[in-house]
């Protein structure tokens, strides 16, 4: 693939290896998402215990996601990413050696959480790197490519790989194989990426650096729109992370096989990958906020309900369920412009603003499963679906208030068309 083609696709050639590394790393991280919960339940854990494991993991993800933005500036993206890789590998080794074979929650909770600390430091530190590197008029496209890489590895390649690997390797060996993808992705993204981090923030002392870390929280109060963006980002993937706890069991009760479910799940995220880039480009041209509000919030609300009611009324109709999953994945991607909008609200503190956005991304992995654990017993599957539907509508309403200052809005121009970006 030559530079001319990369340019036409909106990808800067200097960051191409970073995107590839993120894709491979996240493939290793996410290959169990579509089936681990059902495996745990089949091997002795309750739905609530499985939800607890994913919720504690999500809390660890939230902490690491918050820290990733400021640590990427304090340490530099490469060092922050390397630290994340080390945590992920350490957690995986202990989780698979001592935790999963014994189904001992006392071991599983801390070691699976250690994995959760690892991947945000790797992936979201690269995202911070990207927000400094990419020019403002191409930032939506640049972060769109990041989310293509992120979701393509985490939810598409991981799911499809598992749908084939499980039959040949079994569950434990499939999980062990994740280390191959993680290691390869880390080497490519950290060692081979060409940008030299020229925009890394400089600190005069350790005290100044530590003070800046606190900025990753205080900026949400100094810039309330940044805080609102973090809440919207939490809602964005809360449903998707909650689905993996209870939806596989529901689909199999309807009549789908595990392989069919994994392929439906893979189709959802395949659509998401494609639309990550499409919405990034559309957001650059026609408005980041409007894209998130209408196609993200309202669209996700509609198709969240459809994920439940389509198989409820049509039974194990593979094509119908796949089509709905594709539509949900496309709408889920419409939140991508948040990654351009939020740091633009605080251009002098992009890393801190990204920390809030990353915290929201991490919290979604906690909130989604936690809602299942808290309410599945009382409201059932249909009740959980309507909780998520309501949250998506709330996120759409909140986006009415997340607007760029007029000065920044008029400066954010698509250079290819000279059209001002209307937020």
In a domain, 246, yes or no: yes
* 421 falls within a domain: no
What is the pLDDT, as a whole number, of residue 6? 57
What is the C-alpha to C-alpha distance for residues 122 and 253, in angstroms, rounded to an integer? Answer: 37
Report residue 230: phi and psi, to 5°.
Answer: -65, -40
pLDDT for residue 204 = 65
Tell me how far apart the 2 most distant CA atoms of the chain are, in Å: 64
Q: Is the whole model's pTM more than 0.85, yes or no?
A: no
Confidence at residue 208, expressed as pLDDT on a 0 to 100 scale: 73
Q: Are 221 and 286 in contact (CB under 8 A)?
A: no
pLDDT at position 244: 85
CATH label of the domain that carries residue 63: 1.20.1250.20
Decide if 172 contacts 301 (C-beta within 8 A): no
Instruction: List Cα–Cα distances, 15 to 199, 329, 360, in angstroms.
Output: 14, 25, 25
Mean pLDDT in runs of 10 for the chain (423 residues)?
54 78 94 88 88 90 83 84 95 95 94 93 87 73 84 85 90 95 94 60 67 79 93 94 89 92 89 86 84 96 97 96 97 92 85 85 88 93 97 97 68 38 30
Total tally of structural domains belonging to the chain: 1
The pLDDT assigned to 18 comes to: 87
In this prediction, residue 402 carries a pLDDT of 92
Q: Is residue 374 part of a domain?
A: yes
Does a structural domain hold residue 357?
yes
Question: Tokens 């809440």 sit at which residue?
Answer: 231
Within a domain: residue 409?
no
Distance CA 249, CA 378 (A): 17
Helix (H, G, I), strand (E, B) or coil at 194: coil
CA 242, 152, 339, 33: dihedral to nearest 10 degrees?
20
pLDDT at residue 9 in the model: 60
What pLDDT, on a 0 to 100 scale, did the predictor assign at position 205? 65
Under 8 Å between Cβ of 197 and 77: yes
Of the candidates 344, 350, 116, 347, the one whose C-alpha atom is nearest the C-alpha of residue 216 is 350
Quote the domain boundaries for residue 374: 13-196+209-402
Q: Considering the domain boundaries, does residue 163 fall inside one? A: yes
Residue 2, pLDDT score: 43
Evaluate whether residue 5 is within a structural domain: no
What sign for the dihedral angle of Cα 4, 5, 7, 8? positive
Q: Write the burial class of residue 294 (CB in 10 Å: 0-12 exposed, 13-18 middle, 19+ buried).
A: middle
């Amino acid at each position: 693939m030559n530079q001319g083609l990369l340019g036409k696709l909106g990808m800067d050639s200097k960051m191409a290896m970073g995107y590839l590394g993120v894709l491979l790393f996240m493939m290793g991280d996410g290959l169990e998402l579509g089936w681990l919960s059902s495996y745990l339940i089949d091997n002795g854990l309750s739905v609530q215990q499985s939800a607890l494991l994913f919720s504690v993991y999500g809390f660890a993800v939230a902490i690491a996601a918050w820290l990733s933005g400021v640590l990427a500036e304090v340490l530099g993206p490469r060092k922050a990413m390397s630290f994340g890789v080390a945590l992920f590998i350490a957690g995986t080794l202990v989780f698979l050696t001592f935790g999963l074979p014994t189904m001992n929650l006392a071991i599983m909770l801390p070691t699976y959480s250690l994995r959760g600390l690892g991947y945000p430091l790797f992936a979201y530190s690269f995202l911070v790197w990207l927000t400094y590197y990419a020019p403002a008029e191409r930032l939506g496209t640049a972060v769109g490519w990041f989310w293509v890489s992120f979701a393509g590895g985490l939810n598409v390649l991981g799911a499809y790989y598992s749908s084939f690997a499980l039959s040949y390797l079994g569950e434990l060996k499939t999980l062990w194989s994740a280390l191959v993808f993680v290691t390869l992705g880390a080497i490519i993204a950290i060692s081979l990426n060409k940008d030299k981090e020229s925009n890394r923030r400089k600190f005069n002392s350790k005290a100044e650096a530590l003070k800046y870390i606190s900025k990753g929280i205080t900026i949400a109060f100094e810039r309330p729109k940044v805080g609102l963006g973090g809440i919207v980002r939490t809602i964005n993937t809360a449903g998707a992370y909650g689905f993996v706890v209870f939806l596989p069991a529901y689909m199999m009760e309807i009549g789908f096989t595990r392989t069919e479910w994994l392929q439906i799940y893979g189709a959802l995220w395949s659509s998401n990958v494609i639309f990550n880039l499409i919405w990034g480009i559309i957001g650059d041209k026609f408005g980041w906020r409007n894209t998130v509000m209408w196609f993200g919030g309202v669209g996700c609300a509609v198709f969240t309900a459809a994920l439940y009611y389509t198989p409820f009324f049509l039974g194990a109709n593979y094509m119908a369920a796949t089509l709905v999953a594709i539509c949900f994945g496309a709408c889920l991607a419409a939140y991508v412009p948040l990654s351009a909008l939020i740091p633009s609200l605080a251009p002098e503190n992009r890393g801190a603003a990204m920390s809030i956005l990353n915290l929201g991304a991490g919290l979604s992995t906690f909130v989604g499963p936690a809602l299942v654990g808290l309410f599945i017993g009382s409201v059932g599957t249909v009740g959980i679906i309507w909780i998520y539907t309501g949250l998506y509508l709330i996120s759409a309403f909140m986006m009415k208030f997340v607007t760029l200052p007029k000065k920044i809005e008029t400066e954010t121009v698509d250079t290819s068309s000279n059209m001002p970006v209307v937020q």
